[in-house]
Chain A
């Protein structure tokens, strides 16, 4: 149980970080296709965040104090750096969900797999938009 709580709390932290990152990412994306993608991604992360918050509340687990401020891993100055961060964010979310798989079962594991899969698919879309090759990785979520 403790392991589930820990991994779900880590997934929540990754979702929160993603929501935060899509702010500065969106500012530097001007093409319609990029902006649509970023908006959809941010909405998806908010949904996962909300689900996790209520799940952790049911488990009576503390989600841990929210960090006072997020720090971006590098400065976002243009489209290229915005896309680079979007890829990194989705890879990070995929990693956080992958470790939930071994500590869950049945429907909970399927939900974690959906979250991992969605993040991996978004990372692939961002790689295609950024013209990064290859657009896929063999084992999404594996650090």
Chain B
């Protein structure tokens, strides 16, 4: 109604601004109070609930590191394994962005001896299958906004298990 009446807007402009200013001031005050509460929670790290997708992110980082180690131990498999590790890094980056946490710097890859190529692939395959289950369960439980990304990650882990056959 006011929008159809330009005279009304001009006439009340000053007052309206003052009213808005008052409201903004009140909002700021509330934010400050709420901010204190949030700050206190952040201080108490033990009480902070981890994001439900944190286990999916942790697995992505663990798997990426596992592929690095495997490629080092088995140079002949490097071309096959490197793209799979890169997929996990892409997952970790997307999940960290979604959760709103910085990505932890990757732990240095510790060499775990040099098993046979077959054993390396079998171990990785088992890890992928387990990680697929984690992601599929998370996809079922997560919000609509997160479902597509987590679903793609679960599907990707299944394709990795297939690629390692």
Complex Cα distance A39/B136, Å? 27
Chain A residues near B162 (CB, 8 Å)?
121, 124-125
CB-CB under 8 A for A109 and B163, given A117-B154, A136-B156: no
A135–B144 contact, CB under 8 A? Answer: no
A140–B152 contact, CB under 8 A? Answer: yes
B152–A136 contact, CB under 8 A? Answer: no
B152–A98 contact, CB under 8 A? Answer: yes
B90 at the interface (CB under 8 A from A): yes
The contact string, 1 if C-beta is below 8 Å from chain B, for chain A 112-142, is 1100110011011100100001111111111
B155–A102 contact, CB under 8 A? Answer: no
Min CB gap A62→B, angstroms: 24
Count residues of B near A (Cβ-Cβ below 8 Å). 28
Complex Cα distance A124/B87, Å? 14
Min CB gap A130→B, angstroms: 14
B153–A110 contact, CB under 8 A? Answer: no
Min CB gap B124→A, angstroms: 13
Chain B 71-124 residues near chain A, CB threshold 8 A = 79, 83-84, 86-87, 90-91, 94
Complex Cα distance A39/B15, Å? 75
Chain A residues near B139 (CB, 8 Å)?
101, 109-110, 113
Interface of B is mostly: helix
Interface of A is mostly: helix
B90–A103 contact, CB under 8 A? Answer: no
In-complex Cβ contact of A140 among B84, B86, B155 (8 A): B155
CB-CB under 8 A for A94 and B144, given A113-B139, A136-B87: no
Count residues of A near B (Cβ-Cβ below 8 Å). 29
A116–B155 contact, CB under 8 A? Answer: yes
Complex Cα distance A124/B157, Å? 11
Interface centre among B90, B147, B154 (most CB of A within 10 A): B147
B144–A99 contact, CB under 8 A? Answer: no
A117–B163 contact, CB under 8 A? Answer: no
27 A-B contacts, Cβ less than 8 Å apart? A94-B155, A98-B151, A101-B151, A102-B145, A102-B147, A109-B140, A110-B139, A113-B136, A113-B151, A113-B155, A117-B155, A120-B155, A120-B158, A121-B159, A121-B162, A135-B83, A136-B156, A136-B159, A137-B159, A138-B86, A139-B90, A139-B153, A140-B155, A140-B156, A140-B159, A141-B148, A141-B155
Residues of A within 8 A of B (CB): 94, 98-99, 101-103, 106, 109-110, 112-113, 116-117, 120-121, 123-125, 128, 133-142
